[in-house]
């Protein structure tokens, strides 16, 4: 689910998988692509999948795997030839490919042999510093009677949790490591976080419903970056269009996003951003009163299928935010109450420090 240009195929030998992709999908605009939300503090990620080489492949038939901004060329594949193991690098990403058995008829045309290859890529920072991992497959084959499939896609998050000192003998430091597995869309949270700043995040940012918005609503577009009692710095991220849920959009850029808040000079300010892509973020600082501030977020997209109201009522946008810029029935209004100090840290805690890699998003 969630693949742009995604399609499903089935055969009793292969079962159901992402595919089939053949010479009709030669153009890169036809490649399946998906964005995954991943923790930005991960030590590294591993991306695994099975590539199905189906029917009569021949040199120069090949596939490309696009991870983040890197292109992994897995080389040529030929029917009947056991490709065995391959290794390679693309930028900072390293990868291996291992055939899962000799060429044999697995499915589809009984006149040809197929082969399954298991691919593993190790992805270090900074390939996911924005909290997003882009994954895409490019099938480049010539002629008919051959295709590719992709299956068992899995992303594993590796974290080094640092050192912990045991309070009882032998009182030695141990390094705890955890792995989190993301199978398609399901990302499981890891170790319990006991840091009061992190524990406060769920209570320091509260959304208030102000309209009857109809829009993808899986992730909050606002994240607190730092708090110092008098001001709060936060990021605003485009999380609606061109992400997991926008496969039918021709453009992956949002028409505009506007943030209405009290700036550090004490003046009510509206910051408007045009053409943000999925996962693109902006950082703002608001001044607080009585320990909190209100941030209003207005969104619009001319496509007409991203935002709307369940009662078809138009949204009233402040003129400073471009109130007459676009069809008001294709807008949404989000309001957040943001605390200016971590609630669970008590009065004596130091102000929250700016996160170097705060989350901003297939």
Q: Is the dihedral of CA 296, 262, 207, 34 positive or negative?
A: positive
pTM of model > 0.75: no
**Cα 316 from Cα 314, distance rounded (Å):** 7
**Cα 43 from Cα 159, distance rounded (Å):** 5
- Does residue 80 have a pLDDT over 50? yes
**Are 97 and 83 within 8 A, CB to CB?**
yes
User: Which residue's entry shows tokens 């399901």?
Assistant: 186
Residue 35: per-residue pLDDT: 82
Which has more confidence, 201 or 149? 149
- Does residue 291 have a pLDDT over 90? no
Confidence band for 303, pLDDT divided at 50, 70 and 90: confident
Q: Name the least confident of 172-181, 274-283, 287-296, 299-308.
A: 172-181
Average pLDDT over residues 152-179: 57
**Are 103 and 97 within 8 A, CB to CB?**
no
Q: Is 93 exposed, middle or buried (0-12, 13-18, 19+ CB in 10 A)?
A: buried
Chain centroid offset of residue 233 CA: 23
Sheet holding 256-262, edge to edge: 205-208, 331-339, 292-300, 256-262, 268-274
The phi and psi torsions of 82 (rounded to 5 degrees) equal: -80, 110
What's the whole-number average pLDDT of the chain? 81
The percentage of residues in the chain with a pLDDT greater than 90, rounded to a whole number, is 47
Letter string b/e over residues 320-351, b meaning 16 or more CB atoms within 10 A of that residue's CB? ebbbebbeeebbbbbbbebbbbbeebeeeeeb
Confidence band for 141, pLDDT divided at 50, 70 and 90: very high
E-only strand ranges, 209-255? 213-214, 222-227, 231-237
Average pLDDT over residues 121-145: 92
Chain centroid offset of residue 300 CA: 21
Q: How many other β-carbons are positioned within 10 Å of the β-carbon of residue 161?
A: 14
Average pLDDT over residues 208-226: 83
- Does residue 70 have a pLDDT over 90? yes
- Does residue 196 have a pLDDT over 70? no
Q: Is 102 exposed, middle or buried (0-12, 13-18, 19+ CB in 10 A)?
A: exposed
Confidence band for 240, pLDDT divided at 50, 70 and 90: confident
**Are 74 and 118 within 8 A, CB to CB?**
no
Confidence band for 251, pLDDT divided at 50, 70 and 90: low
């Amino acid at each position: 689910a969630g693949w742009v240009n995604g399609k499903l195929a089935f055969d009793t030998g292969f079962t159901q998988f992402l595919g089939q992709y053949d010479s009709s999908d030669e153009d890169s605009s036809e490649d399946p692509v998906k964005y995954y939300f991943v923790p930005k503090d991960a030590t590294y990620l591993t991306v695994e999948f099975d590539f199905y080489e189906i029917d009569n492949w021949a040199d120069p038939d090949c596939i490309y795997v696009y991870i983040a901004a890197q292109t992994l060329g897995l080389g040529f594949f030929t029917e009947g030839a056991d490709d065995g193991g391959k290794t390679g690098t693309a930028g900072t990403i390293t990868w291996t490919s291992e055939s899962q058995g000799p060429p044999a008829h697995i499915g589809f045309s009984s006149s040809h042999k197929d082969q399954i290859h298991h691919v593993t890529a190790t992805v270090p920072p900074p390939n996911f510093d924005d909290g997003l991992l882009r994954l895409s497959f490019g099938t480049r084959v010539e002629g008919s009677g051959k295709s590719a499939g992709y299956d068992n896609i899995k992303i594993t998050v590796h974290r080094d949790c640092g050192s912990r000192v045991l309070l009882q003998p032998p009182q030695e430091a141990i390094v705890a490591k955890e792995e989190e597995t993301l199978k398609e869309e399901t990302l499981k949270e890891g170790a319990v976080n006991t840091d009061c700043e992190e524990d406060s995040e769920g209570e320091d940012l509260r959304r208030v419903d102000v309209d009857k918005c109809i829009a993808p609503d899986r992730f909050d577009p606002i994240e607190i970056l730092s708090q110092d009692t008098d001001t709060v710095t936060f990021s605003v991220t485009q999380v609606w269009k061109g992400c997991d849920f926008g496969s039918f959009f021709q453009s992956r850029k949002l028409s505009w996003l506007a943030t209405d808040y009290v700036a550090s000079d004490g003046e009510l300010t509206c910051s408007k951003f045009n053409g943000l892509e999925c996962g693109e973020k902006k950082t703002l600082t608001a001044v607080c009163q009585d320990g909190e501030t209100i941030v209003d977020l207005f969104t619009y997209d001319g496509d007409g299928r991203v935002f709307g109201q369940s009662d078809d009522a138009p949204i009233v946008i402040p003129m400073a935010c471009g109130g007459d810029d676009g069809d008001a029935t294709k807008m949404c209004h989000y309001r957040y109450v943001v605390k200016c100090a971590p609630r669970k840290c008590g009065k004596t805690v130091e102000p929250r420090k700016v996160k170097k890699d705060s989350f901003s998003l297939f």
